[in-house]
Structure 1
Amino acid sequence: MLSSLIRTLRAAGAAALCLAAATSAQADNYPSKNITLVLPFAAGSGTDTTTRLISQHLSQALGVGIVIENKAGANGMIAATYVARAAPDGYTLLVTTNTTHSANPYLLKSLTYDPVKDFTPIARTGDLPFMLVINPEVPAKTVAELVAYGKANPGKLSYASGSSSAIVSGATFAHNAGLDLLHVPYKSSPPALNDVMGGRVSMMFVDILTGLPHVQGNALRALAVTTKDRSPLVPNLPSMQEAGVPDFDISSWQGYFGPAGMPKEIVTRLNAEIRKIVEKPEIKAQLATLGMDAFSGTPEQLGTFVNEQLVLWEKLITNAKIEKQ
């Protein structure tokens, strides 16, 4: 019996050594084939556009192709779950935002992934500030005028959403300004924005990249940004707090994640290449034109940040009195 136990332990030890050797070899040869970046939003969204720019440079740096796979729906849960269940070999990654990794645990009754336990943080790539836009037919040119109109016409105004940032921003605006607003949810921002421009919905909180071209074309009117201070990307717009809505400070962040259990060597390689890209002045400038404040950090910093953001977004959602769906 003792000899049998010894043989079993030796076999287990040998298997562990083989697995470690295979993992090491896999990391040394990484990458040897195309990498898929899974996005929780549709093509044309802010995250999609900025990721396509970054992925061009990442493909060159790694010497392999980068495939963008948009899996919009269920508030990002479809994409997040898909990556959480993928092999942790560095070939299937999630490029996501606070929607899946900060807000969903407090917005959805049933979540098919854990934003901390099921993922390996790789690199943060920056922030995507949001702004409030309205259909030009709404008789308001400032946030104060919009609030006054909404209070004089309870139930007449509505807001669209295509992400958690938009959901929470709209609910926070309604709660903090004391307005009766109808929420109209969409799978992603582009179709939501189309209905605001078409007059079927009154307003929307949208990332600057997606909304600004329509503002410049006079199809939408921009009133304020959601961050505590003005954004250097649109310095002419006041913050919501500056415009008279108290306790309003909401920002959308973006980062790269892999499935839990990725080899450290692969995470380190990806982090180094992504940081080199977003920290180049010329690329930062390009991303700024796309509505993104680009910066990065270590995988450990992203992991700590996710935990901090979970606390913050629980508070935001609780204060806005949003019920889980």
Structure 2
Amino acid sequence: MNRRTFVAAGLTGVASAVACAFGITPRSVRASVDTWPSKQINYVIAFAPGSNSDVLGRIMAQKLGEALKDNVVVENRAGATGMIGSAYVAKAPPDGYTLLGASIATHAINPSLFKDMQYDPVASFQPITIIGMNANTLVVSNESRFKSVQDIIDAAREKPGTISYASSGIGTTQHLSGVLLEQIAGIKLVHAPYSGRSAIPDVIGQQVDFMFEGPTVVPQVKGGRLRALAVTSPQRLKSLPEVPTMQEAGVKDYEVQAWQAIFAPAGTPRPIVDKLYQALAQIIHSPDMQARLEGMGVIPSAMSPDDFAVFQKKEIAKWGDLVKSTGTKVE
């Protein structure tokens, strides 16, 4: 490249940067947006098959593919409380062809638990939307001796450190739901993190005493394999109206709500972000999807990218305070 070509290329790059700063989309970017998507979109889910993120992600991927008239392929990259999949997407090209199905754990709780996450939950990503909010449900095997939350508390007080609960990993809301119960009830439980696989079969088989889990347990409860003792939201769920809240079950001031969301790599062109959000919001607001999500115990959201960015920062601060106050550490 001669000096004149080098200078011209440099000026073109500066012009593009200035144009983007003032909200002017460069012609090359406009052309790419006009033809987007022109190939398969990879929807990376940071958790194992069967998890809440996986179930909701697969529903959204199918609907998104139909809306965009192109293939949206799901790929599970589970492990390290969602950090493996998140780090993968953080390093992907910001062209709209790689999305992340993430959660409150990967993008709000993990920063207060892990020193080396290999990604910045804010700077490495472009928020697209929150699919919905959900409570966790405290469940035991249908054959369990525990008939109420108070039964678990009484057993834990009688024999501290003998009652176990499962979660999908350290730092997830399922884990912190147990930590909060310990703190409020003044008990000591044994935490069994199931990173990379579902704990539901072991709870059904009573290898673990109980667990807090999201929407994926609703079919198991309705099918009679699990018994729901309480939900962690301040109100009862439409999907399980007969199940009391933790506060109604006698655990004062108890509340935990999680969320499932979609991110893109930081630097994804705003027109593509807007096109993605518009398609996803339309899907989430559709009557059939609203009914489907509510039936799973999920409160539909479709929060805008800008509002989501503000909300995420508040969530990082909120959960950081809880982790600090309970002394929770990664073992």
For Structure 1 versus Structure 2, the TM-score category normalised by the shorter chain is over 0.9
Separation of aligned partners in 1, 2:29 and 2:206: 55
Q: What is aligned with 1:176? A: 184
Q: What is aligned with 1:299? A: 305
Return the letter of the residue paired with 1:172: L
Residues 1:13 and 2:11 are matched in the alignment: yes
Q: What is aligned with 2:220? A: 214
8 A contact 2:47–2:79 mirrored in 1: yes
Return the letter of the residue paired with 2:214: D
8 A contact 2:150–2:249 mirrored in 1: yes
8 A contact 1:127–1:253 mirrored in 2: yes
Residues 1:44 and 2:19 are matched in the alignment: no
8 A contact 1:159–1:204 mirrored in 2: yes
Report the Cα offset of residue 51 of structure 1. Answer: 2.0
Q: TM-score, normalised by structure 2?
A: 0.91
Q: What is aligned with 2:201? A: 194
- The change in CA–CA distance for 1:22 and 1:60 in structure 2 (over 3 A counts) is same
Return the letter of the residue paired with 1:100: T
Report the Cα offset of residue 306 of structure 1. Answer: 0.5
Q: What is aligned with 2:276? A: 270
8 A contact 1:49–1:290 mirrored in 2: no
Q: The residue matched to 2:81 in structure 1 has which SS?
A: helix
Q: Of 112, 127, 130, which residue of structure 2 is paired with 1:106?
A: 112
Return the letter of the residue paired with 1:36: N
Separation of aligned partners in 2, 1:64 and 1:212: 31
Q: What is aligned with 2:21? A: none
Separation of aligned partners in 2, 1:40 and 1:169: 20
Q: How many residues align?
A: 320
Q: The residue matched to 2:328 in structure 1 has which SS?
A: coil
Q: What is aligned with 1:261? A: 267
Q: TM-score, normalised by structure 1?
A: 0.92
Q: Decide which moves more: 196-205 or 114-123.
A: 196-205
Separation of aligned partners in 2, 1:30 and 1:230: 42
Q: What is aligned with 2:193? A: 185
Return the letter of the residue paired with 1:212: V
Q: The residue matched to 1:68 in structure 2 has which SS?
A: strand
- The change in CA–CA distance for 1:212 and 1:189 in structure 2 (over 3 A counts) is farther
Q: The residue matched to 1:318 in structure 2 has which SS?
A: helix
Separation of aligned partners in 1, 2:66 and 2:264: 20
Q: Of 196, 204, 212, which residue of structure 2 is paired with 1:205?
A: 212
Report the Cα offset of residue 219 of structure 1. Answer: 2.5
Separation of aligned partners in 2, 1:288 and 1:70: 24
8 A contact 1:42–1:188 mirrored in 2: yes
Q: Of 82, 85, 95, which residue of structure 1 is paired with 2:88?
A: 82
Report the Cα offset of residue 59 of structure 1. Answer: 0.9
Q: Of 67, 70, 74, which residue of structure 1 is paired with 2:73?
A: 67
Q: The residue matched to 1:275 in structure 2 has which SS?
A: helix
Separation of aligned partners in 2, 1:15 and 1:216: 58
8 A contact 1:189–1:206 mirrored in 2: no
Q: Deviations over 1:275-319 (max 9, x none)?
A: 001001121112222332212121101101111111111122223
8 A contact 2:239–2:296 mirrored in 1: no
8 A contact 2:277–2:305 mirrored in 1: yes
Could you tell me which runs of 5 or more consecutive residues in structure 1 were left unpaired when the two chains were aligned: none
Cα RMSD after superposing both structures: 2.0
Q: What is aligned with 1:318? A: 324
8 A contact 1:140–1:149 mirrored in 2: no
8 A contact 1:55–1:66 mirrored in 2: yes
8 A contact 2:237–2:297 mirrored in 1: no
Separation of aligned partners in 2, 1:281 and 1:177: 40
Return the letter of the residue paired with 2:180: T
Separation of aligned partners in 1, 2:301 and 2:197: 24
Report the Cα offset of residue 188 of structure 1. Answer: 4.1
Q: What is aligned with 2:23? A: none
Q: Of 21, 29, 39, which residue of structure 2 is paired with 1:23?
A: 29
Separation of aligned partners in 2, 1:7 and 1:85: 30
Report the Cα offset of residue 55 of structure 1. Answer: 2.0
Could you tell me which runs of 5 or more consecutive residues in structure 2 were left unpaired when the two chains were aligned: 18-25
- The change in CA–CA distance for 1:260 and 1:137 in structure 2 (over 3 A counts) is same
Residues 1:231 and 2:229 are matched in the alignment: no
- The change in CA–CA distance for 1:245 and 1:188 in structure 2 (over 3 A counts) is farther
8 A contact 2:131–2:261 mirrored in 1: yes
Q: The residue matched to 2:154 in structure 1 has which SS?
A: helix
8 A contact 1:230–1:238 mirrored in 2: yes
Report the Cα offset of residue 10 of structure 1. Answer: 4.1
Separation of aligned partners in 2, 1:296 and 1:14: 37
Q: What is aligned with 1:123? A: 129
8 A contact 1:139–1:149 mirrored in 2: no
